[in-house]
Structure 1
Amino acid sequence: MASQSSARIRRARPVDPALPRRIWRGGAIGAGNLAAWVSRRAGRGSGASIRGQVITRLYPMMFTELVADRRIAAVSGTNGKTTTTHLLAAAAEAAWGSRDVVTNADGANLREGIASALSQNIKAPVAILEADEQIVPDMIAKGRPEVLVMLNFSRDQLDRHHEIASLGKKWRTALTAAGQDAPTVVANIHDPLVTWSAQAARRVVWVDMGIGGWTADAALCPSCGAILEYDADGSWNCPGCELGQQPADYAAHDDEVTGPGGVRWRLDLQVPGRFNRGNAACALAAAVEMGIEPQTALGAMGAVRAPAGRFSIGVFGGNRARLLLAKNPAGWAESLLVMDSEPVVLAIDSAIADGTDVSWLWDVEFERLAGKHVICTGPRAQDLAVRLSYAEVDHEVIASVREAMARPYEGTVDVLATYTAFLNLCKMGGVEW
C-alpha cells in the first residue's frame, strides 16, 4: 500500500507553468513573502494572511493554480477543523515526509490563506488543507480533493456568515456537480445537515465522533423540513422522509477508535477532550483513505500537542496558563468540559474576527461551571458576567486581560477565550506556532 501511495505522489507532482507566467507568479510570491516578513518584524502576527492577500492581488490565479494537480485532503466544519487538519497533516508527514506535504498549519483557511501556505512549497505533491466552510464548493471544483472531511455545521459569527442551511446546500450542490470526480467524504453521523450534504458524494465514510449532545442547530430535517426525533443516546431520525443517522464505519469511544470489521485502535492523544477524540477518528479515517497505515497515522497524531496554539501553555509573569479557544456555542459547550483549574478565566471579545454579536452567550450552558469561581475578562466581560449571574455561577469581572493574567494563581490556570482574545493571550504568554 505504501509503494502504491508513493507512486501516486510522484504522478501527482505539479508541472511548472510556462516561463513568463512562472516569473509573474514568482514575483507575486516574493512580494508576499516580503509583506509577511514585515508583518512578523512589526509583531503583527505570522504574516500568513498578509502574504496571501498580496500574492492573490498581484496574481489572481494563485489559488486556482496551486490547488490543481495535487493529492488534497480538505477539512471543513464549524468546530475542530484546525485540530483535525493538524492531526491528519502529522499522519501524512509521517507517511511521506515533511518535504512532500504542505499544510496551512496556522489556520488561515480562506482562499488567500490557502494560497499563502501552498506558495511556500509549490512542488509538494500532497496538501492537507483546512478550508473555511464558505470556500468548500470552490475547493471541490478547483482542487478536486481526494478526501473531504465534513465535521459539523453550527451557528458561528451570524453577523458575517450565512445561515448554516445555505452552506449545507452549497456543499451538496458542489458534490453533485463533481459527479465521479467528487471526493470521498468522511462525515460526522451526528450532524443531520452534514449527513444530508454528504449523501451527494460518490462515496462516504461515516464516523461516530462520540459527540451527540449538541442539537441546538439541528432541529429540522434539511431534506423535508420535519422536526427531527432524537433518542436518549443522541441518535436521530427524520419521521417525514428517509434521512436518518447512518451506521458508523469508524467510531470514537473513550480512548479507542473502532474501524471497519470491528478492528480497534487505542488513541493516545496529547490534546484533551472528547471532541478531540472525535476529531482524531475523522483524521484516522481520512488517513486510511489516502493509503496511510493506521498505526503510522495514530503514532504521528499522538505527537500533536498544541495545534495553532490551542491547549498550549503560556507564561504570564509567575503564572502558567493553559490556553483554550472556542468561537461559538457548540465549541464552548465542549470546551467547558475540560476546564479543570480553580478558578477558571473566560476572555470575551467581539472584534470582527470574533463576530460582533455576542448573543450566543445565552446559548452556552454555563451552569456546568457551578461550584467554580470564574474570572470574566476582555472587552465584553460585563456581558459574560450577566449571563453567569443568571446561571448562578460565582464570578468576578477584571476587564483588563493583562490584569486578569497577573492575578496570582496556584498551579496552571485554564483560560478559555474567543478568537481575538486568544491571539492576544498567545502573544502575551509567549506562545508561537
Structure 2
Amino acid sequence: MRLDPGALGKLLADRRIASVSGTNGKTTTTHLLTAAVRASVADPDDVVTNADGANLHHGIASALANQPRSSIAVLETDERVVATVIELGRPEVLVLLNFSRDQLDRHHEIKSLGRSWRIALQAAGSSGPVVVANACDPLVVWSAQPARRVIWVDTGDVWNEDAALCPECGSLLVRDQSRWDCPGCSLTQPVADYTVRGDEVSDPNGRVFTLDLQVPGRFNRANAACALAAARAMGVPAQTALDGMATVTSPAGRYATATIGTARATLLLAKNPSGWAESLPLATSQTVVLAIDSAAADGRDVSWLWDVRYEQLAGRTVVATGPRAQDLAVRLRHAGVDHVVEPDLTAAFRRPEVTRVDGPVDVIATYTPFQRLRKLGGLA
C-alpha cells in the first residue's frame, strides 16, 4: 500500500465479498462463514480470508494480495474500516454483529462508529450490500436501517449495558421480555428473519436447523446464526453451510488447548465487559488464570474491570497475571475472590495453583496476552 496507495481498492475489485464486523465475535463468525462458503465451492482456494484476524486496511490488503486469483473474499473487518470496504469493495453481504464499549481511547464512542456505517450504507444506495444484522442491538439496528435489504437475526443477546439510550432520539429504551422499544420515536426491535433458541435456528420460512458446533457458548450460536444467514444470502444451501461450520474448532486460537510450560491451558479471549460476561461462564476449572494488559491493542484504560462480574468466581482460585495484574487484583479483592498475583505471564504457569490442576486450566485473556499465550503454546 505504500508503493500503491490505491492497492486496497484494486485488491477488492472483481470479487464477491462478504464483510463481517462488530465489537465481539468478528473472528469466529468470519471463520464460520468462510467454512460455510468453502464447503459450497469446488476449490477451497477460491475463497480468501484474513484468518488470523488482521482486520485493518493493511491486514485485509495482505490477505487479498496472497490470493489474488480467489474470486470470493470473506473478510473480518474492523469497525472503523467498514465504511471503506463498503465504498471500495461493494460487498455482496455485510454482517453486523453487535456494539459495546471497546478500546475507547482508539474507537471513541460507539455511536460514532454506527454513524459511519449508516452514512456508508446511505451512500451505497441500491448498489450496497445485503446486511445481516443483530436485531437485539439497538445501535446495530439504527446503523443498518439505510441498507437496501436487511436480514434480521434475533440472537438472544443478554448484554444490554451499552444500549440504554435510543441512538435516534436519545430516549431511554424500554425492554420487555427480551425485546426493546423506544418510547420517543419509531425505532423498535425489528421482527426477526432468523431466531436463535438454544442449539436451534429458525429461518424466514419456518424451517428449524440444529447447530452442531465445536466452539462453545451461547454467543457462538448467535455468531453461527449470523454466518448461516449470510451464507444463504450468498447462495450456499443451508445444510452445506451447517456442515462447513461444524468443522471450525479453534478460530485463531480461541478455545484451543495448549501446553504452556508444564501446564495444560484452554484459551479464551475477552476484550471488554461484554466479552467477559460471555467468557466467564465457560471457565469451569477450579483454578482460573486471568491475563490483563493495557497495550494499544487492548485499550489503555482498564476501568472496564469494574463492569465485569468477577464475583461469580468466588470459591475458586484465580491467578492474576499480565502487566495490569495489580489493577485486576484490586477488583478481585472487592469481589471477594481468592487470588494470587504474578505479573509475569510465563511465571504464572509455573505456579503450583496452575500446575497441580487435574486437566486443563481455563485462561481468559485480553488481546495482547492472548496472542503471547498462543505463541507460548505453539498455536501461532
TM-score bin (small chain):
over 0.9
In 2: Cα distance, 1:62 partner to 1:371 partner:
54
Look up the match of 1:291: 235
Alignment of 1:319-358 (within 5 A): 319-358=263-302
- Measured in 2, the distance between the counterparts of 1:104 and 1:340 equals 31
Compute the RMSD of aligned alpha carbons.
1.0
In 1, the alpha carbon distance for the partners of 2:15 and 2:163 equals 35
Q: Between Structure 1 and Structure 2, how many residues are aligned?
A: 375
Distance of 1:239 and 1:394 partners within structure 2: 44
Runs of 5+ in structure 1 lacking a partner? 1-55
Q: Is the 8 A contact 1:313 1:431 kept in 2?
A: no
Within the candidate set 125, 148, 163, 2:71 is matched to 125
Corresponding residue for 2:211?
267
Pairing partner for 2:148 from 180, 202, 210:
202
Q: Say yes or no: does 1:278 pair with 2:226.
A: no
- The 1-side partners of 2:335 and 2:192 are apart by 36
1:413-432 deviations in Å (ceiling 9; x for gaps): 10000111001111111113
Task: State the alpha-carbon separation in 2 of the partners of residues 253 and 344 from structure 1.
Answer: 29
* Structure with larger RCO (C-alpha < 8 A, sep 6+): 2
1:175 equivalent in alignment to 2:102: no
Residue 370 of structure 2 aligns with an amino acid whose one-letter code is F
- Aligned equivalents of 1:264 and 1:311: distance in 2? 27
Moved beyond 6 Å, runs of 4+? none
Q: For 2:75 and 2:102, locate their aligned partners in 1 and report how far apart those are by CA, in whole Å.
A: 20
- Distance of 1:236 and 1:206 partners within structure 2: 14
Instruction: Determine which of 373, 390, 405 is the counterpart of 2:334.
Output: 390
Deviation readout 1:370-409 (Å, 9 max, x if unpaired): 2222111111111001111111122121222111112312
Aligned residue type for 2:118: R
Separation of aligned partners in 2, 1:187 and 1:422: 28
Deviations 1:251-275 (A, max 9, x none): 1111111111211111111110000
Determine which structure has the larger helix proportion and give its number: 1
Q: CA deviation at 1:234?
A: 2.5
- Partner residue in 1 for 2:4: 59
TM-score (norm 1): 0.85
Secondary structure at 2:39 match in 1: helix
Please state how far the C-alpha of 1:363 moved relative to its aligned partner: 1.1
The one-letter code sitting in structure 2 at the alignment partner of 1:421 is: P
Q: Is the 8 A contact 1:345 1:413 kept in 2?
A: yes
- Aligned partner of 1:134 among 80, 87, 95: 80
* 1:423 maps onto 2:367 in alignment: no
Letter in 1 for 2:108: H
Deviations along 1:267-297, whole A, 9 cap, x unmatched? 1111100000000000000000000011111
Q: Is the 8 A contact 1:91 1:296 kept in 2?
A: yes
- In the TM superposition, residue 68 of structure 1 has moved relative to its aligned partner by 1.4
User: Do 1:101 and 1:125's aligned partners in 2 also have CA atoms closer than 8 Å?
Assistant: yes
Alpha-carbon separation, structure 1, partners of 2:155 and 2:63: 28
Render the CA deviation track for 1:87-114: whole Å, top value 9, x for unaligned: 0000111111312100000100011000
1:71 pairs with 2:16: yes
Cα shift readout 1:9-48 (whole Å, capped 9, x = no counterpart): xxxxxxxxxxxxxxxxxxxxxxxxxxxxxxxxxxxxxxxx
